[in-house]
Amino acid sequence: MNEAIKTLKTWIEESDNIVFFGGAGVSTESGIKDFRSVDGLYHMKFKYPPETMLSHSFYKSHTEEFYDFYRNQLMPPDDIQPNTAHLRLAELEREGKLRAVVTQNVDGLHEKAGSKRIYNLHGSIYRNRCVRCGKRFDGIEGANVIRHAKGVPLCDCGGIIKPDVVLYEEGLDEDCINGAVDAISKADMLIVGGTSLTVYPASGLIRYYRGKRLVLINRDETPYDSSADLVIREPIGQVFGQV
């Protein structure tokens, strides 16, 4: 165990108001592609750029192509499992140390791991609704309605079933943002992991942190490295496996 991880371990032992803020890199060790790394989604070749296909405009104008891309690239397989980072965060919550998980991911792995207080900034593949009648299609069964649909998933009323994920050009949920800001601003320790901290407005939330133990765990540099009290450049699952 290197000195940085020893420090992290000590800080966790001394804290009882930790908030974790995570991004796509938290789930890569479960086999889910991230977005901006060299082998991530944004470096793969598609008919249109991924940012375009994940936009509200594309959803409206190329609806069937949107769902093909969403099913094949954004929805992880049914049997995908949480990794060590997800599981340890859930344990820290049960131990009374972790107060909240704030995540940019939509894969639902924090829920699968057992975390309870989660702010899903960009929504979840397990929350879906009919845009016409408002009927909910939630949980694994709800996700499978979209996963196994032929073409555009339709409700019994004929309306389109839209995932509650935040697309480009769409705003974040105000209640979710307010809850995340409140948790972060009251934390005595903020652990940021698996995120490049370049996606706004989500990444701007860490500016609300007022404590003196800001930890960044990420494979690559981030714009906030110089502001951090501790920076660890190791896979996040391996780090949490040691603490």
With helix as H, strand as E and coil as C, how does the chain read?
CCHHHHHHHHHHHHCCCEEEEECHHHCHHHCCCCCCCCCCHHHCCCCCCHHHHCEHHHHHHCHHHHHHHHHHHHCCCCCCCCCHHHHHHHHHHHCCCEEEEEECCCCCHHHHHCCCCEEECCEEEEEEEECCCCCECCHHHHHHHHHCCCCCCECCCCCEEEEEECCECCCCCHHHHHHHHHHHHHCCEEEEECCCCCCCCHHHHHHHCCCCCEEEECCCCCCCHHHCCEEECCCHHHHHHHC
Give me the catalytic one of 43, 56, 62, 122: 122
**Which pair of structure tokens corresponds to residue 63?**
């609806």
Question: Tokens representing 25?
Answer: 């890199």
Q: Is 122 a catalytic residue?
A: yes
Q: Among all residues, which ones are annotated catalytic? A: 122
